[in-house]
């Protein structure tokens, strides 16, 4: 999903150095090869944000107000799994009859599969995929649609090769260091379970601590807050809910459909020491409504942005990026508030007691 329309998926990256729009020249120098050059091996490179075949990276197309918008494109040929399996079966049957046996050795099957791939691959049409990237010069952030570990690795390598700069993945840990100079590894480990026999996790879990605290704070203290600019916003949590805790029994629990926030299953998960790992988050900033699924690594998925008035394409993109910035301002104002508590041992101990009491009071559900 790209940034100019529909729901948005993205991760945030801190940029090592302040960048200027002049960096666009480096993206142009590392533009993707022509699709006609695609052979057996994949090709990749940068294209514009317009579509995956637009290799003409220019100021007019990619430098939009305070942003640069490009996409890391990858092209490769693939044999569809069903087609590959069918051709392999045909070849295996021929081989079985020729050898007069009932079963083929594993190595022979592997050789047949590779032979089929070699035969079919040149005739396969290109398969294109892309990782959209927006550079936000005002916040010195990279906003990228790299969601899986594989995509993040590919993005980091390409970005480093192109700009000679490093993009650091923004996680609850790196955000704590950047925003409040808090090293989560220096903090005491936390268990919200009321039962003292349930030990805290073996390592820090700031993302899950934050989401669990966010749930508690919403229910006990209300949902209306002010961001760093003094603007009011509200939020609420919804299912599906994913809980997690390493240890004995099931590590992960997924609750969906119905009203999982008010369910006995949710309370049981909290009583067992599990913490909230993923949740649907709704934010209201004045008349602007956002919905997004967010996890304990600050990966934002399926974000639905507020509707905007119809305008030309550049204007739509810029307005949607402004809306994403507004969401992030509100989101990180909540995280800053959490960090102020988490970084103060005395205050955090009081919070833990309150959360445990809240869990205990929910057992009557």
Query: What's the CA angle centered on 280, arms 275 and 285, to 5 degrees?
Result: 120
110 shares its domain with 253: no
Q: What's the pLDDT score for residue 222?
A: 76
327 shares its domain with 248: yes
Q: Please, what are the averages of pLDDT over each run of 10 residues along the chain (365 residues)?
A: 86 89 94 94 95 95 92 96 96 94 93 95 94 94 96 96 95 96 92 90 91 93 83 92 77 82 86 94 93 97 90 83 95 96 95 94 64
16 shares its domain with 150: yes
205 shares its domain with 303: yes
115 shares its domain with 98: yes
User: Residue 116 falls within a domain, yes or no?
Assistant: yes
User: Residue 158 falls within a domain, yes or no?
Assistant: yes
Contact 324, 305 (CB under 8 A): yes
Tokens of 204: 């820090």
Q: What's the pLDDT score for residue 263?
A: 83
Q: What's the pLDDT score for residue 364?
A: 47
Which of 167, 145, 163 is closest to 4 using CA atoms? 145
73 shares its domain with 86: no
User: Residue 1 falls within a domain, yes or no?
Assistant: no
Q: What's the pLDDT score for residue 1?
A: 52
106 shares its domain with 200: no
Output the DSSP codes for 133-159: EEEETTTTEEEE---SHHHHHHHHHHH
User: Residue 290 falls within a domain, yes or no?
Assistant: yes
60 shares its domain with 158: yes
User: Residue 3 falls within a domain, yes or no?
Assistant: no
Q: What's the pLDDT score for residue 118?
A: 94
Q: What's the pLDDT score for residue 248?
A: 59
Tell me which residue has tokens 């209300």. Answer: 222
Residue-wise pLDDT tens digits, 230-251:
889 999 999 899 999 876 555 8
206 shares its domain with 288: yes
User: Residue 2 falls within a domain, yes or no?
Assistant: no
Phi first, then psi: give them for residue 248, nearest 5 degrees: -70, 155
44 shares its domain with 130: yes
Rounded to two decimals, the pTM is 0.90
How do strand 63-64 and strand 43-48 relate by DSSP bridges? unpaired
- Which structural domain, as residue segments, surrounds residue 212? 176-364
Give every CB contact of residue 65 below 8 A, 6+ residues apart in sequence: 318
Contact 154, 131 (CB under 8 A): yes
30 shares its domain with 115: no
345 shares its domain with 281: yes
User: Residue 301 falls within a domain, yes or no?
Assistant: yes
Total domains, the chain = 3
């Amino acid at each position: 999903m790209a940034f100019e329309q529909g729901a948005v998926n993205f991760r945030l990256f801190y940029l090592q150095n302040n960048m200027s729009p002049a960096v666009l020249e480096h993206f142009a120098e590392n533009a993707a090869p022509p699709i006609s050059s695609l052979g057996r091996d994949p090709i990749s490179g940068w294209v514009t944000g317009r579509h995956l075949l637009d290799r003409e990276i220019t100021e007019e197309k990619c430098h939009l107000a305070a942003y640069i918008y490009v996409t890391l494109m990858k092209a490769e040929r693939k044999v569809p799994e069903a087609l590959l399996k069918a051709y392999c079966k045909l070849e295996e049957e021929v081989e079985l009859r020729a050898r007069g046996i009932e079963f083929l050795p594993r190595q022979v099957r592997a050789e047949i599969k590779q032979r089929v791939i070699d035969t079919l691959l040149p005739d396969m049409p290109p398969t294109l995929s892309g990782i959209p990237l927006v550079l936000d010069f005002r916040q010195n952030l990279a906003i990228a649609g790299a969601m899986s570990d594989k995509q993040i690795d590919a993005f980091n390598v390409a970005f480093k090769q192109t700009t000679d700069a490093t993009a650091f993945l923004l996680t609850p840990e790196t955000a704590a260091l950047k925003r409040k100079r808090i090293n989560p590894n220096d903090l005491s480990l936390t268990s919200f379970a009321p039962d003292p026999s349930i030990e805290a996790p073996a390592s820090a879990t700031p993302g899950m601590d934050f989401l669990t605290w966010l749930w508690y704070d919403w229910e006990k203290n209300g949902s209306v807050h002010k961001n760093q600019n003094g603007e009011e916003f509200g939020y609420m949590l919804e299912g599906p809910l994913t809980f997690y805790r390493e240890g004995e029994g099931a590590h992960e629990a997924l609750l969906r459909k119905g009203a999982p926030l008010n369910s006995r299953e949710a309370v049981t998960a909290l009583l067992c020491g599990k913490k909230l790992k993923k949740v649907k988050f709704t934010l209201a900033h004045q008349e602007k409504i956002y919905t997004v699924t967010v996890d304990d690594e600050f990966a934002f998925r399926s974000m639905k942005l507020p509707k905007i008035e119809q305008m030309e394409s550049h204007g739509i993109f810029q307005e949607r990026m402004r809306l994403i910035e507004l969401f992030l301002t509100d989101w990180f104002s909540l995280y800053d508030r959490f960090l102020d508590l988490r970084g103060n041992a005395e205050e955090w101990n009081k919070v833990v007691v309150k959360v445990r009491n809240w869990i205990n009071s929910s057992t009557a559900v």
